[in-house]
Amino acid sequence: MRILVTGGAGFLGSHLIDRLMEQGHEVICLDNFFTGTKRNIFKWIGHPYFEMVRHDITEPIRLEVDQIYHLACPASPVHYQYNPVKTIKTNVIGTLNMLGLAKRVKARFFLASTSEIYGDPEVHPQVEEYRGNVNTIGIRSCYDEGKRVAETLAFDYHRQNGVDVRVARIFNTYGPRMQQNDGRVVSNFIVQALKGIPLTVYGDGSQTRSFCYVSDLIEGFIRLMNNEEHTGPVNLGNPGEYTILQLAQAIQAKIDSSVPIQFETLPKDDPRRRQPDITKAKTWLGWEPTIALEEGLKLTIDDFRDRLSSQ
């Protein structure tokens, strides 16, 4: 099968490409390298079934493919707030371009949406039927609302033009190849602890997140894309709920217990609780996470340690 992965040089995209290449597919990686890096896909460059295209999806492109995994968009607050107008253009114009491509070539289209569409949720845990509590004019809305519009576009193309769509709502994911400067809580804590600087916890650390290891998430992607019955949206994430302070303490204990924890002011619109209800993923896809946080953190810390030591 010939498969396009937008954002393929990024954290999630490169892990997805690994799986698709190992399964014997022809893979086209499309990336503008705003947050992605060639290092993530270097081992496939030169492979006869792999093609790398430097391209910004806000511009149209013509390709012949059977499936499209649409992952392209900066996903961490540091990066999507750096250029919020570009972020929303990527989510809206970029998604329009990819859906237009799917329509023309009759490809199945997978949208990597996000738990951020639930905003600061008033329903816990979050089920797919929950419509969210999002600040439309906040500093995070370029991403939150951008992904909500991307979902709207996907289902409108499905209803109006018959495009075969799949929509996944991704909850916090971590693992090897996370960027050191992406501002996500797992990478922040690991880098700080390895460098011996205080771990920055915002607020009192009582806000919660659920952490899914990257290999589990990619398995969910592939199962949803190849499911013949359900379009989604489907929550993909680990239902284990941890406070940010608990995460900081776990990483502190694994790396250097002498590194202190430093409390800072909570950012605006930071969600208080985040936990997926994965009943649909279990029922429709036979999917649930298998990697415990303890195991996943060890693998992620080892990867960061190796990269930092080689710099």
Give tens-digit pLDDT for 120-166.
899 999 999 999 999 999 999 999 999 999 999 999 999 999 999 99
- pLDDT at site 269: 67
Give tens-digit pLDDT for 198-214.
999 999 999 999 999 99
Residue 80 annotated to the active site = no
- pLDDT at site 273: 86
- pLDDT at site 201: 95
Q: What are the residue ranges in the chain where pLDDT is below 70?
A: 269, 311
CA atoms in the 13 A half-sphere facing the CB of 81: 12
- pLDDT at site 70: 98
Residue 282 falls in which region: left (phi positive, over 0), alpha (psi -120 to 50) or beta = alpha
Q: Which of 32, 34, 33, 36 is nearest to 15 (CA)?
A: 36
- pLDDT at site 284: 98
- pLDDT at site 266: 84
What domains sit in the chain, N to C, each tagged with a CATH number? Answer: 2-173+213-236 (3.40.50.720), 185-208+240-274+291-309 (3.90.25.10)
- pLDDT at site 56: 97
- pLDDT at site 271: 79
What distance in Å separates the CA atoms of residue 144 and residue 33, rounded to the nearest whole number?
A: 22
Catalytic member of 69, 80, 118, 143: 143
